[in-house]
Amino acid sequence: MIELTNVHKGFGPKQVLAGVNLTIPRGESMVVIGGSGTGKSVLLKCILGLMMQDSGTITLDGEDTSQVERDAFLARFGMLFQGGALFDSLSVWQNVAFRLLRGSLARPKTEAREIAIEKLRRVGLTPDVADLYPAELSGGMQKRVGLARAIAAEPEIIFFDEPTTGLDPIMSGVINDLIREIVVEMGATAMTITHDMSSVRVIADKVAMLHAGKVQWTGAVGDMDNSGDPYVTQFISGSAEGPIEAVR
Amino acid sequence: MKPITYPLAALGRATLGFLAMVGRVSIFAGQSLSHIIRPPFYPREFLNALLHIGYFSLPVVGLTAFFTGAALALQIYSGGQRFSAEAVVPQIVAIGMVRELGPVLVGLMIAARVTSSIAAEVATMKVTEQIDALVTLSTHPMKYLTAPRVLAAILVVPALVGIGDIIGIMGGYIVGTKQLGFAPGAYLTNTWNFLETADIVSSLVKGAVFGFIAAVMGCYHGMNSGRGAQGVGRATKTSVEAAAVLILAANFLLTSFFFAT
């Protein structure tokens, strides 16, 4: 279980997170929604330790994440980045098997390649993609490779940062379905940040709405449409009228 | 604050900012060295860096050294004629190339070619979240990106300097023997006899220091780049400027250390 308590993070005078409280139970898929610039990515990076929060605590299974052994902590995570963040200088299979070729999870090259090809198959890519380089792939294929890399070491917790940004609606649907299938199949705890409502409806067990640096509303995805929260209602409907300012 | 103190305040801010940056760069350089000697090691990254910094720099280093050596021979000959000292061309070309021009020109070429490319590559990796991805894949960016490049530069730039010295002397030799009428055997004998071990050692030490500076500057500015294309461009430009100035400053200090007695 991931638990955030009163987490604050600012950049100069701008307070991005202003007391976030959020619990992500083990095995559940939590989707954090919110407008652009509301601190969704910052929240995710604070959990992973890519940024340090200014105050507040983040715990994983009761352990303060700032006190844990970093390698063991990170080995429990997989992450799909917004732009894929694939390494340009490595081939597709080497990207997918990156963790399996180095460090504590290292295994023989042939075995790592086999696992990479199997993971590529799992995300709907054929083995002939394995020896291509990221620059030779379309945006949708890069997302799939990023997804294959995120699940390659079978992590307990997977983070998805804007998984459908820049994709057409059909490819977005494919990626959403894949994420849902993989999370269920692996029994992983998942946290997704997005402002794509179609992703939310497919991926989420629970939804948290982030606004003005705080969690404005949280609840089951089925309750989202009738939440009664004006922020959630405005966000879902995409209306310019409501408590969320259209010009930020 | 009174307007009369504005310039002083600006000077103070600039000084503090400069000292803070010197501190950050020094810590980064120290960390780079410490990651070189502590596992895990990334041999593939090291070999790639060796190839990129060393082998692929050979053409530009060779051409620069050749033309510099050739021009130096002409200059010394025409200058030496003013006081009947044109016979010292082989010795002055040798000492000039080995002690000074070889290391400095190779250092500056490496700053232009390698520092810029490292800074642009690392900065692009930062902007596209590849460095964050490395961290989430339990890989320390300093170990994976910085340490192999810095170690490769420390090892391979002295070799480039040595090659540059030889090619520069050969440039002088070709001009001296084909254009200025020196006897080939005598030219080489004079060159060889005049050079001392300290000249060659200083040249190679300078190469190692300049390689270290070039790689550290590329990595530091890449890792600390701003956002977007502008951030990458600024990081690249600043890294080359900083590397070139530091190489010239280090050259002065090393020359003082080796020869100012």
CB of A75 within 8 Å of a chain B CB? The answer is yes
Q: Is the pLDDT of residue B176 over 90?
A: yes
Angle between helices B116-127 and B228-259 (to 10 degrees): 140
Rounded Cα distance, B251 and B261, in Å: 16
Cβ-contact B105, B69 below 8 angstroms: no
A81, B137: Cβ pair inside 8 Å? no
Residue range A152-159: mean pLDDT, rounded: 92
Q: Is the pLDDT of residue A248 over 80?
A: no
Nearest chain A residue to B137, by CA: A99
pLDDT tens for A129-144 read 999 999 999 988 998 8
pLDDT tens for B23-80 read 999 999 999 999 999 988 999 999 999 999 999 999 999 999 999 999 999 999 999 8
Q: Which of A59, A119, A54 is nearest to A93 (CA)?
A: A119
Residue A88: list chain B partners with CB under 8 A.
Answer: 130
Residue A98: list chain B partners with CB under 8 A.
Answer: 137, 139
**Rounded to 5 degrees, what are φ and ψ at A89?**
-85, -5
A:B CB pairs within 8 Å: 49
The predicted structure's pLDDT at residue B61: 96
Site of tokens 């030799």:
B173
**A137 C-beta neighbours (distance < 10 Å), count:** 18
Rounded Cα distance, B215 and B49, in Å: 10
pLDDT tens for B99-140 read 999 999 999 999 999 999 999 999 999 999 999 999 999 899
A87, B135: Cβ pair inside 8 Å? no
Rounded Cα distance, B50 and B152, in Å: 5
Nearest chain A residue to B126, by CA: A85
CA distances from B135 to A27, A51, A74, A78, A171 (A): 24, 11, 8, 11, 28
- In the structure, what pLDDT confidence band is assigned to residue B1 with cuts at 50, 70 and 90? low
Residue of A70, A78, A83 lying closest to B129 (CB–CB) = A83
Q: Which of B138, B133, B139 is nearest to A74 (CA)?
A: B138
Cβ-contact A142, A84 below 8 angstroms: yes
pLDDT tens for A221-233 read 999 988 888 888 8
pLDDT tens for A95-126 read 999 999 987 778 899 999 999 999 999 888 99
The ipTM of this complex is: 0.88
Is the bond into A108 cis (omega within 30 degrees of 0)? no
The predicted structure's pLDDT at residue B253: 96
- In the structure, what pLDDT confidence band is assigned to residue A246 with cuts at 50, 70 and 90? low
Identify the residue with better confidence: A1 or B211.
Answer: B211
CA distance B129 to chain A (A): 5
B132, A83: Cβ pair inside 8 Å? no
SS3 for A100-160 is HHCHHHCCCHHHHHHHHHHHHHHCCCCHHHCCCCHHHCCHHHHHHHHHHHHHCCCCCEEEE
DSSP string for A151-220: HTT--SEEEEESTTTT--HHHHHHHHHHHHHHHHHHT-EEEEE-S-HHHHHHH-SEEEEEETTEEEEEEE
The predicted structure's pLDDT at residue A185: 87
CB of A81 within 8 Å of a chain B CB? The answer is yes
CB of B67 within 8 Å of a chain A CB? The answer is no
Q: B199: helix, coil or strand?
A: helix
Test mutation, B137, B145, B227, chain A, max A CBs within 10 A: B137
* β A2-11/A77-80 pair status: unpaired
- Residues written for chain B: 261
Q: With pLDDT > 90 as the criterion, what percentage of chain A qualifies?
A: 55
Rounded Cα distance, A28 and A189, in Å: 5
How confident is the prediction for chain A on average, in pLDDT?
90
Instruction: Output the six-digit token pair for B225.
Output: 């780049």
For chain B, domain boundaries:
3-259
* Residues with Cβ within 8 Å of residue B259, at least 6 apart in sequence: B99, B198, B202
